[in-house]
Amino acid sequence: MQTAVNRFLCAVLSMALIVVSSLASAADIKEINHDTFASIAQSSMIVDVRTPEEFAQGHVPGAVNIPVATVADNIAMFGAKDTSIVLYCRTGNRVKKAHALLSNAGYNNLHHLEGDIKGWEDAGKEMEMPEQ
């Protein structure tokens, strides 16, 4: 009985540590506005973590599409751990997930485009469409 209780407590503690660590990494997301984005875009990897269908409807110029569901399987595509990476999606929720995955993989120069694609569109910024 004591062993089962100890295992249960260890499992609960492990889960709590995972939750706390993911919350801490989500809090470390550096939000950048459109002006800051313009100044770092040329030297950064711009990643749209929306679905391919959403990406095809228009995206930030120069962005690559790596859907959040495939980030873990495509870590090598992100390059060196200190690469400047700008993430965006539609509302920010998928960016939090992608950020946690990348942060846990050792990436430390991660940025979140303020307002995501909706804010980009609302600001009247240029949209790029994939070639048909």
Q: Where are the domains of the chain?
A: 29-122
The CATH number of the structural domain formed by 29-122 is 3.40.250.10
Candidate list 41, 89, 100, 110, residue with the active-site label: 89
Does the annotation mark 89 as catalytic?
Answer: yes
Q: What is the pLDDT of residues 59-113, one digit of tens each?
A: 999 999 999 999 999 999 999 999 999 999 999 999 999 999 999 999 999 999 9
Q: Which residues contact 65 (CB under 8 A, 6 or more apart)?
A: 47, 48, 50, 52, 55, 59
Global pTM value: 0.79
What pLDDT was estimated at residue 2?
A: 67
Q: What is the pLDDT of residues 7-35, one digit of tens each?
A: 654 444 444 444 444 444 455 789 999 99
Instruction: Provide the token pair at 42.
Output: 């040329």
61, 65, 71: which is closest to 48 by C-alpha?
65
What pLDDT was estimated at residue 88?
A: 98
